[in-house]
Chain A
């Protein structure tokens, strides 16, 4: 059934009793042309584009929990493409372009809200770094502009631009097309779209092993729902990538860190855009529901526990209160953690592996949600064709051997 104002109206008249399933919940078949491990946003998008653009429909997406239950449901919903290096610019901008048409493409309102992402500069080093971004982005044809403190305040009235505070705002960069999107909607929209194109999304099905034939190529997966044969596997397991790849004997340049976020109680609109500050270590936006959505930095040590430490919440909130004094009286409603897989250069790995038939898409760190459509799109191409398209080509595993790193962390000093 096509979603529209009309269908909402007609179904409403019938008491909303006839809405169809958004996605099927099938049992696994014995064999598939390709298997995607991980039904997060990236995995579901990969399956969707494999079916839609590469004509592959005998695909299964295996998920050990429930679809979209990992980072898609835990991130702070920020989207932007103002990265520094052109390799990063290309893939995040690719995602941005796809996202602009995504609601219609999926017939699912992902609530992409280009409300602007502003990054605050508090010292001269910040200014140098952010202006370098602005110039690099403009050359790449990506919108990103420099604002004076007064212009920044005009765009986000909540901002405190007094000169005598501990970390005064001395400028800001702004990507107007940046903003937020509804995280669950992206995962669910892709799931519904993929399912309608014949993709089997199999939840509560944990992969326990990866089978390889005499030549060393992959030939199937062992799961909690039995063995499934396939010659092509795409691993899109985010924080659990190292664990899954180890099943194929591949060691990765990855570490999994907890990333915490929290929300306030809902209040009437007070925050029109997304604001980030790396010097003060805080970023914040306001959801359509009215909650202030606040992100912390990654925890200090690797972990798969999705729980938050009190000191992390404290460190995040003292920064937020310093940046936005009026929020001091608001209250924290919910605090949670996700797991992000981080590479040494803070850029993703999208590529082949030493194992024939095994492909990996990981290492998105804190950029995963921003990249989802683009990541799925290029990875679909890689898994379907066996060769990366231009945008994905630089993000090989091999770059760590040759030293051709794409170091967003070192260059950008931008954490999120």
Chain B
């Protein structure tokens, strides 16, 4: 197999199963079990990307989610492209196609690289200081000239195009103990917690659980090699019914009250695009107790030229060797301040790689690992720092010098094709911090470690700053027992595990390594955002004293890795120049998510018709079959108009209006809100909640009800029927139904709890069929039984209970059109059938079915308001001329007191009036403003605005309703409606345009 850097044996990859993949169009081969990163390295590919600002060549730095450089575009087919994916997190699958980013024309030859020649002019915050152009240019120069350039240069990967065809799923889940991270500590914690009988979830971000054990070759647990113990332990856990093991599952966010967000990758790692299976799943886990065993992240060293391809974290190189059977170079030098790098050196050496040199910045590194390295014949240069590197697209040599009291002596170059670095280990405290747990700085490991917990969580092992396999297993077990006990499951047992073959490891350093001031090359802190040591020092010089300022000014730690490898180094560099200790300078907040999480998985199934409910009335089907156009009203679909034979909306609406007034129209009013108010104190309650008087309303009669909020503004209205002394059938606006019920319950429960009355929503109990028009009675009469609907027996604004088509019904004689009308309420399941019966009856009189638009026109002809159209939350009953609806004798009702506030009774309030245009064919635009002059200067105060405007078939001209300052006093006045094409003259008239005496209702 053509994988020059693949070892002959070892590793956890499946050597029997080759996998073909493509990188920048070139075909390569890897093995099953590889990540994209390990497969590229096996093929000797280190150069995988170009940096953000300077377009410097970049290679793979890490083997995990902290990777700042190896961000690639992954193309899984149409609509399935995703940018900025870490090669270290992508499982290699057959035919995988990856593209490098941020380069042109190619990764090898990137013209953007000229930027690095001018890098000195792109120092921290340079864009705040220039790109402004001459004052005369205003913001144009930036927006038109500079910004497009900046925008094109910025942004990492290409944007996806086309809709994502994949499915995403989301679930809530609950468990007694959640363990985050299936390394040795996590495995021990899960075993211990499970032994108590508690339900345990153990999640791990990687494809394979095991954490550091996956790259462990020397250590033994319980006398068996770590790998064997791992296999046995995973089997044991899988066999436990109360344990759920979730690989490929990232715990990305720790929220209030132990709610943790988990992101499970499902199809991508399998390389399949199953028709059914989701690409990813979101798990919203509410955990009784949480154990964090998230390990630690190795820190790079900051020195000139530390970003060349081939410069890699030491433990990452060890992982590629031991887990993936890949050597990251043929001549490898290590630079370290921590013992763990020696482990990597020894394993590489043992694998036959040429490891001539370990550079240790420390004066006297000691311990078994150091001895072993010496014994293995590796030269160790102590008290030595890195002053530079050479190489174009791959490191060629590393520049070294001894530090002797501030001086750099005996500089020399050491040839290598890989430089492994280790600055020590940074505990992954992200989730602990997100849970609002405190952080304390640990001088010993030069990093922040968890302090006191605020939520029910504890950390164990490396993420707590306590390193070593034995420690991890012991602390994990103890944490598991403790967590289970606190979750109510005592008696858990921590596994007792003897560990062999490991050695204590010490060290750690943060900040930039000592190097000559006049270093020729840049020392990078944040690789992805191209933030250098000099940028951070400049920010401090410019007065940025808070680490938040430094971060924002330099953008360090703000890249897609959120500073996992860079934050501490940046902090130390700033602290040094500020002359403060690390804790004094503070720490930037750890925000969700831990690593980037796909938008789609947050949205889950909530898309299309499942995004919001699509509410349909029982009669919807009939309307659809009869060609209705629908409009959205809240969540409801309402029949808008019923076009016949190629009619446009205007023609259809005109016909519906004319025919309704000529004969009859039938309208689906089912969406109207309905509330049954029942109890001995029902009338008393209504008196409080509505402006109108109710005490004297007789059973069997209806009344128009007006509801205010406590601020005195109109909130809702509707016809209210009294069915009995103790029972009201209340109707509300379609959109207002839930709001009104909540408003009523609020006052009933919290202000008037002594009233013996109860509320029940009946909105969907009843299908409502409105029959309006001179022929309404003729149409309804044959269908009803149990009551007399004659004019005298059932006057306008009354209600009767009986049957319609044999179905129990409530029939109200009411009108929203100005015509004789009935609203038939029947149980919803019968709605369609009764509608069809009414329709059949209506056909005998050429009745039409009409929609919401015709309804709007006809009610406007009568000057009836629509709450939400004539009102906007700032309108009082008097503004609308509805004072007649206020019970004058009432001592109190919700909103009454507010109506007498000074500005509620002041002159100049906007009042509802009608408007007619000089030209009857001119239909005003709703929302248009109204002025006294035809040519208002900019800034002229408007008198008001047009609230409703239609072409009225009944009047054969356009009509409009409007709110106009002192409108009622202005009747007869000519005002103006300024439009782009010039003002339209209008005359103020009464808002009731049609049948002002209401004769048509009295038949």
How far does the alpha carbon of A328 sit from the alpha carbon of B767 in the complex, in Å? 39
Interface size on A, residues (CB 8 A): 111
A132-B927 contact, Cβ under 8 Å, with A16-B534, A310-B259: yes
Complexed CA–CA distance, A307 and B155 (Å): 27
Closest to B127 in A: A109
Q: Closest residue to B595 on the A side, CB-wise? A: A331
Chain A proximity mask over B151-181: 1 for CB below 8 Å, otherwise 0: 1101111111111101010100000000000
Q: How far is the CA of A17 from the CA of B531 in the complex (A)?
A: 16
CB contacts (< 8 Å) of B261 on chain A: these are: 310
Interface pair A3/B157, CB less than 8 Å apart:
no
Min CB distance, B988 to chain A, in Å? 18
Alpha-carbon separation in the docked complex, A286 to B156 (Å): 13
**Which of A54-62, A120-128, A223-231, A232-240 interfaces with chain B?**
A120-128
Residue of A nearest to B874 (CB): A407
* Chain B CB within 8 A of A25 CB: yes
The complex places the Cα of A167 from the Cα of B939 at a distance, in Å, of: 35
Query: With the chains together, A86 CA to B938 CA distance in Å?
Result: 11
- B825 contacts partner chain A, Cβ-Cβ < 8 Å: no
Which residues of A (116-173) have their CB < 8 Å from a CB of B? Answer: 122-125, 127-136, 138-141, 165-167
B538/A19 in contact, CB under 8 A: yes
The CB with the most chain B CB atoms within 10 A, among A104, A319, A407, is that of A104
Closest-by-CB residue of B relative to A99 is B139
Indicate if the CB atoms of B128 and A108 lie closer than 8 Å: yes
Q: How far apart sit A288 and B612, CA to CA, in the bound complex (Å)?
A: 33
Complex contact B552–A318 (CB within 8 A): no
A410 touches B926 (CB 8 A): no
A290–B129 contact, CB under 8 A? Answer: no
B156: A residues at CB distance < 8 A: 265-268, 290
Interface residues of A in 365-416 (CB under 8 A from B): 399, 401-405, 407, 409-411
Bound Cα distance from A128 to B129, whole angstroms: 44
Task: Give the CA-CA distance A133 to B164 in the complex, in Å.
Answer: 35
Contacts of B284 in A (CB 8 A): 310
Among the stretches B214-222, B336-344, B736-744, B900-908, the one at the interface with A is B900-908
Asked if residues A309 and B155 are in contact (CB atoms below 8 Å), the reply is no
Q: Quote the shortest CB–CB distance from A175 to chain B (angstroms).
A: 14
Selected interface stretch from B361-369, B408-416, B542-550, B837-845:
B542-550
Residues of B within 8 A of A124 (CB): 631
Instruction: Decide if A100 touches B612 in the complex (CB within 8 Å).
Output: no
A3, A289, A326: the one contacting B128 at CB < 8 Å is A3
B139 touches which of A103, A139, A269 (Cβ 8 Å)? A103
Tell me if A403 and B901 are in contact (CB < 8 A): yes
Q: Does B1003 belong to the interface (CB within 8 Å)?
A: no
Which residues of the partner chain A approach B597 to less than 8 Å between Cβ atoms? Answer: 331-332
Is B873 in the interface zone, CB < 8 Å from A? Answer: yes
B599 touches A264 (CB 8 A): yes
Q: Which residues from chain A contact B592 at a C-beta distance below 8 Å? A: 308, 310, 313, 335
Contact present for A112 and B142 (CB under 8 Å): yes
Known: A290-B151, A326-B159. A318 touches B941 (CB 8 A): no
Nearest-CB distance from A219 to chain B (Å)?
Answer: 30
B936 at the interface (CB under 8 A from A): yes
B936→A267 contact, CB < 8 A: no
**In the complex, are the beta carbons of A326 and B604 less than 8 A apart?**
no
Known: A16-B538, A108-B128. A132 touches B545 (CB 8 A): no
Q: Is the CB of B599 within 8 A of A101?
A: no
CA distance A134 to B544 in the complex (A): 43
Please indicate the chain B residues that have their CB under 8 angstroms from the CB of A401 in the complex.
Answer: 901-902
Q: CA–CA, A337 to B641, complex, Å?
A: 45
Q: Which of B78-86, B224-232, B655-663 contacts A (4 or more CB under 8 A)?
A: B78-86
The one of B81, B155, B632 that contacts A329, using a Cβ cutoff of 8 Å = B81
What chain A residues lie within 8 Å of B868 (beta carbons)?
125
Contact of B926 (CB < 8 Å), options: A128, A203, A270, A319: A128
Bound complex: CA A124 to CA B901 (Å): 34
CA distance A124 to B630 in the complex (A): 11
> Contact between B541 and A19 (Cβ–Cβ < 8 Å)?
yes
Q: How many angstroms between the C-alpha atoms of A142 and B123 in the bound complex? A: 39
> Does B138 interact with chain A (Cβ within 8 Å)?
yes
Find out whether the CB atom of A20 lies under 8 angstroms from the CB atom of B159.
no
Q: Is there an interface contact between B599 and A332, defined as CB atoms closer than 8 Å?
A: yes
Shortest beta-carbon distance from B134 to chain A in Å: 8
B residues near A317, Cβ cutoff 8 Å:
599, 602-603
User: Contact between B902 and A184 (Cβ–Cβ < 8 Å)?
Assistant: no
Q: In the complex, are the beta carbons of B607 and A403 less than 8 A apart?
A: no
Q: Does B712 contact A (CB under 8 A)?
A: yes
Task: Give chain B nearest CB distance to A339 CB in angstroms.
Answer: 15
**Closest CB of chain A to B188's CB: distance in Å?**
29
List which B93-130 residues lie within 8 A (CB) of chain A: 118, 120-121, 123-124, 126-130
C-alpha gap A233/B261 in the complex (Å): 45
Is A134 within 8 A of B927, CB to CB? yes
Q: Does B276 contact A (CB under 8 A)?
A: no
A156 to chain B, nearest CB (A): 13
* Contact of A109 with B142 at beta-carbon distance under 8 Å, contacts A8-B130, A402-B902 already known: yes
Q: Are A333 and B560 in contact (CB under 8 A)?
A: yes
Of the residues A25, A123, A140, contact of B543 by C-beta under 8 Å:
A25
- Residue of B118, B130, B155 with most chain A CB atoms under a 10 A cut-off: B155
Complex-state Cα separation, A73 to B591, whole angstroms: 15
**B808 on interface, CB distance cutoff 8 Å:** no
Report how far A114 CA is from B253 CA in the complex, Å: 35
Residues of chain B within 8 A (CB-CB) of A344 are: 711
Contact (A329, B552) CB under 8 Å given A124-B631, A135-B945: no
Q: In the complex, A265→B598 CA distance in Å?
A: 10
| Cα A13 to Cα B126 with chains together (Å) | 13
Residue numbers in B under 8 Å from A266 (CB-CB)? 84, 154-156, 560
**Contact in complex: A288, B606 (CB < 8 Å):** no
Q: Are B927 and A166 in contact (CB under 8 A)?
A: no
Q: How far is the CA of A5 from the CA of B591 in the complex (A)?
A: 36
A290 to B980, CA, bound (A): 37
In the bound complex, residues from chain A placing their C-beta under 8 Å from that of B273 are none
Contact across chains for B123 and A12 when beta carbons are under 8 A apart? yes
> Which residues from A are CB-within-8-Å of B608?
165-166, 322
Nearest residue, chain A, Cβ from B978: A139
Report yes or no: B155 in contact with A269, Cβ–Cβ below 8 A. yes
Query: Which chain A positions have C-beta within 8 A of B139?
Result: 99-100, 103, 112-114
Q: How far is the CB of B666 from chain A (nearest CB, A)?
A: 22
Q: How far is the CB of B11 from chain A (nearest CB, A)?
A: 30
A325 near B164 with CB under 8 A, answer: yes
On chain A, the residues within 8 Å of B884 by CB distance are none
Once bound together, how far apart are the Cα atoms of A411 and B155, in whole Å?
39
Residues from chain A with Cβ under 8 Å of B942 in the complex: 86, 136, 139
Listed residue (B135, B555, B600) with the most chain A CB atoms within 10 angstroms of its CB: B600
> Are the C-beta atoms of B903 and A402 separated by less than 8 Å?
yes
Inter-chain pairs besides A268-B156, A336-B589, 9 sampled, C-beta below 8 Å = A4-B129, A12-B118, A108-B129, A113-B139, A267-B158, A288-B151, A314-B282, A314-B604, A332-B593
9 A-B contact pairs sorted by A residue (CB < 8 Å): A135-B927, A136-B929, A140-B939, A267-B156, A267-B160, A313-B592, A317-B603, A320-B603, A322-B606
Report, nearest first, the 3 A-B pairs whose CB atoms are least far apart. A410-B873, A290-B155, A141-B938
